[in-house]
Amino acid sequence: MISATAYVLFYALVAAASALVLTATLVVIRSERQRTNSIAFLIGFLLGTTIAAVLGLLLGQAAVEGFESRATLQGVLALLLGLALVAFGLQERRGPKRPEAESDRESATLERLGRVGPGAVLSMAVLLGFGGPKRLVLAFLAMASVSQADLGGIADLTLLALYVAVATLLVSVPLGIVVVGGRRAAVMIDRGQSWLKTNAVMLRVWLALGLGGALIVDGLVRLL
């Protein structure tokens, strides 16, 4: 149980550490319909993350039942994801070279997030919570560790809930503060957005290198 919990916490923290998610959260906080959009974004992000975790649990159970070398599979996935993050971090350190169309598309999406109503915010948050390859692989790795521990249904659901709670911290904490504290809380969080804009590249570099290095170590430990 302790080992499975530690893995769930580790992968959830890696999933939570996303500069894009934090940026999107701060955009919602500054939107015109601050309170309703914040609630919608939080619900959508929790829902998307939960769907990814449930899918990861189902795939993890299938991996445990269908693959004799499941530890090798988990190790390879962790290693590949870690190498990809380190490569991204090194590239960002030399200077971001993302395609201009991709960068413009991301900026447009974030700008739109600040102008739309709760329904659209909810839909976009579900997609963001479900995530791309990184979040899906992390959800699979976390839930595969849970399945491998064979703790039973209640423990599996408890660890799934723990993964969702930790993986959504960068959304739930600031949005929760704003929903409770209103505009006054939003002013304080605005300072965080200013810092994020100033240090965005540095944040992406160190998050990618740090998390990538941790995943590489995790993958090597599983493989050796």
Q: What is the pLDDT of residues 108-135, one digit of tens each?
A: 667 777 778 888 899 989 999 998 888 8
Taking the CB of residue 43, how many other CB atoms lie within 10 A of it? 17
* Residue 112 tokens, joined: 């739109």
> Does 183 have pLDDT greater than 70?
no
Alpha helices in 67-199 (DSSP H): 70-94, 100-113, 118-130, 133-149, 153-167, 169-181, 183-198
Range of the domain at 55: 2-223
* Structural domains of the chain, count: 1
pLDDT given for residue 43 in this prediction: 95
Whether residue 193 has pLDDT greater than 70: no
* Separation of alpha carbons 69 and 174, rounded Å: 41
pLDDT score for 210 = 86
All residues at 6 or more sequence positions from 207 whose CB lies less than 8 Å from its CB, including other chains? 17, 18, 19, 89
| Residue 41 pLDDT | 93
Weakest-pLDDT range from 64-68, 151-155, 170-174, 211-215: 64-68
Predicted confidence (pLDDT) at residue 40 exceeds the cutoff of 80: yes
Confidence of residue 97 (pLDDT cuts 50, 70, 90): low
Higher pLDDT, 200 or 222: 222
